[in-house]
A and B are shown apart, each in its own frame.
Chain A
Amino acid sequence: MAAKPVPVPTPETQPFWDGCAAGELRIQRCGDCGRAYFYPRPVCPACGSRNVEWFTASGRATLYSYVINHRPAPGFDEDAPYAIAVVELAEGPRMMTSIVGLPATPEALELDMPLQVRFEPRGDVSLPVFGPEEN
């Protein structure tokens, strides 16, 4: 059976994956315009500045949109149907993710619900996923 895809870090994304391995969601922001952004790259997409820095995001997010996929990708047969979601981080940027700890149903997955990052092992990396906030 096919395995789930494992991301292959590149030099500009390695700090992100190192953060995940340490249990932290590290993303970038611009030292000039101040805007946080994702995915990792060495230039601010808002203003073009190369003065960018890494920081550890709060890990808090809200559910922005999703689908519940009934035709599993290779490696995901046992998960189907499963949600493929996009969350909006408290710091602004959005990222694709999986939703854990909630059923993959429209009733359970309400847009704008608060979520919190957690990390799951995938091959030799840790993958950020999101689930309900823990009290």
Chain B
Amino acid sequence: MSSSGVIIAGAAETDRLGKLPDHSTLQLHIEGALNAVADAGLTLRDIDGIATVSAPGPVQVAHALGITPDWIDGTGVGGTSFLLHVRHAAAAIRAGYAKTILITHGESGRSRVGASRWRMDASSPAGQFEAPYGTFGPTTTFTIPLLRYMKDYGLTHEQLAYVAVAQRRWAAKNPRAAFRDPITVEDVLASRMVAYPFHLLECCLVTDGGGALIVTSADRAAEFPKPAVYVLGTGESSETPMISQLVDFTESQAFRLAGRAAFAEAGIGVSDVNHLMIYDAFAHVPIYGLEALGFVAKGEAGPFIADGNTEPGGSLPLNTNGGGLSYTHTGMYGMFAIQEGVRQLRGEAAAQLDAPEISVILGNGGMFATSGVLVLGRQPRP
């Protein structure tokens, strides 16, 4: 099986990101969808497949747009879901189930307009065995593994803080980034403690926004106004919905397995990668991601970032939009990581690299619960 032969033909975000109290969740989906359809030079009549997460879910989004789908994917496994949608869409297109698939994201993460209220079921495994101890969202769960990593591999508080510093340097080049002012390690360590060892500037933003993608077959690549972005390899995996049950707190098995599948399918190795996006809900996630994908050995990612390798001018440009720490984070950031990969390969990013050929996107969902990885290329696989 191969994902070659499938392209991203349209990609766009909502007009604005940030604080958008005049947009409901559904409106953000609609605006992202219309922008992506226009970006591909298509009309809504051309769309025959739909994928998004609940709520509002693919049926609501399709209906709002007047789309009658032949193919529906409601995979909702956290913020990486959109990477899985691309993978599933690629399979559907190869199978002939759909020709032109729309993948949407919209989230009123900050303003909470038309947003469903999250509630823990007290009889679920997490409700019985985690929530009673005072967990309350990602800041209290996604963060728990890191002290183990710090003790076992010697990561310092300063190296963790530097992840935020490096990404702010990319954000400074991006007019759409929420936070653009330079910061230092001292600034990060002086910011408010959220959940030791994490300070405020080591935690992602909470914003409103959306975006959408159009996925279709590569034989149509010349029909679209923008350069095609080829889906060369994809992977997905899951580990545990409960952070306490992660097999090894110093690594993500789901990251590793999804990455291995995507790299194998694309037929690439880490040295082929020119651009990398790792969903950074918190500052430790790029560290776990770099190691899981094999860019550095276990324990080396903190020093690798602190040595400047991932910031502007470095050998491995990482999170070039500024990431969830500085660009935007609606709650399900995976869509924005894909968008930046597409922009870099098309040559239309704010902090544009010099003609990158291969962009890799690593997404996480439900903390370390799930992962999706995409290998995207400027050209089809030879």
Contacts and interface: CB of A to CB of B under 8 A. Distances in A.
Interface of A: 4-10, 13, 38-39, 64-76, 79, 81-82, 84-86, 94-98, 106, 111-112, 122, 127
Contacts, number: 116
B134 A67 contact: no
A103 B130 CA distance: 21
A39 B132 contact: no
Interface string B350-378: 00000000000000000000000000000
Contact of B145 (A5, A13, A65, A82): A65
A8 B122 contact: yes
B196 interface: yes
A96 B127 contact: no
Contacts of A6: 122, 132
Contacts of B147: 65-67, 111
Interface stretch (B74-82, B242-250, B270-278, B304-312): B242-250
A100 to B, nearest CB: 11
Contact of B132 (A68, A69, A122): A122
B123 A8 contact: yes
A48 B151 CA distance: 33
A98 B140 contact: no
Contacts of A74: 136
A82 B195 contact: no
A7 B127 contact: yes
Nearest to B250: A65
A70 B195 contact: yes
B115 interface: no
A8 B126 CA distance: 11
A52 to B, nearest CB: 16
Given A69-B140, A84-B140, A5 B131 contact: yes
B123 A5 contact: no
A82 B133 CA distance: 9
Given A67-B197, A69-B139, A86-B144, A39 B242 contact: yes
Nearest to B149: A65
Given A5-B132, A13-B128, A67 B123 contact: no
19 contacts: A4-B132, A64-B249, A65-B144, A67-B198, A68-B193, A68-B196, A69-B139, A70-B193, A70-B194, A70-B196, A72-B136, A73-B131, A73-B140, A76-B136, A81-B193, A106-B196, A111-B148, A122-B132, A127-B132
A38 B132 CA distance: 16
A68 B195 contact: yes
Contact of A94 (B125, B131, B140, B245): B245
Contacts of B123: 7-10
A-B interface, 5 closest residue pairs, ranked by CB to CB distance from nearest? A73-B136, A68-B196, A65-B148, A96-B244, A8-B123
Given A5-B120, A9-B123, A65-B148, A97 B128 contact: no
